[in-house]
Amino acid sequence: EPEVTQTPSHQVTQMGQEVILRCVPISNHLYFYWYRQILGQKVEFLVSFYNNEISEKSEIFDDQFSVERPDGSNFTLKIRSTKLEDSAMYFCASSDRDRDNSPLHFGNGTRLTVT
Amino acid sequence: DQQVKQNSPSLSVQEGRISILNCDYTNSMFDYFLWYKKYPAEGPTFLISISSIKDKNEDGRFTVFLNKSAKHLSLHIVPSQPGDSAVYFCAASGISGANNLFFGTGTRLTVIP
């Protein structure tokens, strides 16, 4: 079964540094998402992306965050200047919206640790 | 933001018995509900969903019930198997029409052999 893949599985960075989290969504999917889960908290929506532009974003997704689909397969999340509170599991997801309410398929996540 | 609540952080069930996981929501604009299962070091895996036009959806051992008037849904697993041991997340969407999911905090299910 096709799956969403994320790299790296674990990223450690110093506060103030830029990080790029990478995702390869399922190939025929059209909608892409980033969610995050701070340890012990809920999985939270960050951003959705369709047709090469952001379709929706949450309050969490401030100017420090950006997303890009640089080619036909990758979908990236960039955090420009990381803060300690950005430490979390970041999940990429994709869905096929050709049918109504297609469920999201999640990757295994990237654990980001900001020191 | 507590729009989706799972009030039981954990549940233990004997193998072969029924597991019932509960979820409550506050926003009446939600019209699509999902259950995800999550193993350690993996992402959430889609399990089953239900649209607000239905009150029950069944898929093998898994059944989701929706009570719109009570803003409550539940996931029934029967019979429960040890491999079902995982964290189960309830999620809801529909406010914006997009797939912006609101997740509950999860219930850790342990199925005892």
Q: Which of B32, B34, B105 is closest, CB to CB, to A42?
A: B105
Determine whether the interchain pair A104/B49 forms a contact, defined as Cβ–Cβ distance below 8 Å: no
List of chain B residues whose C-beta atoms are within 8 Å of the C-beta of residue A102: 99
Q: Which of B91, B100, B105 is closest, CB to CB, to A56?
A: B100
* pLDDT tens-place string over residues A8-27: 999 999 999 999 999 999 99
Determine whether the interchain pair A42/B104 forms a contact, defined as Cβ–Cβ distance below 8 Å: yes
Determine whether the interchain pair B104/A31 forms a contact, defined as Cβ–Cβ distance below 8 Å: no
pLDDT beneath 70, residues of chain B: 1, 95-99
A:B CB pairs within 8 Å: 54
Could you write out the DSSP letters of every residue in B9-52? SEEEEETTS-EEEEEEE--TT--EEEEEEE-TTS--EEEEEEET
Q: How far is the C-alpha of B107 from the C-alpha of B13, rounded, in Å?
A: 13
Sign of the torsion formed by the C-alpha atoms of A34, B36, B43 and A106: negative
Q: How far is the C-alpha of A22 from the C-alpha of A74, rounded, in Å?
A: 7
Cα of B106 to nearest chain A Cα, Å: 8
Report the residue count for chain B. Answer: 113
Nearest to B67 by CA among B23, B7, B5, B20: B23
* pLDDT tens-place string over residues B2-17: 799 999 999 999 999 9
pLDDT tens, per residue, chain A with 115 residues: 779 999 999 999 999 999 999 999 999 898 999 999 999 889 999 999 998 999 889 999 999 999 999 887 899 999 999 999 999 999 999 998 644 567 899 999 999 999 9
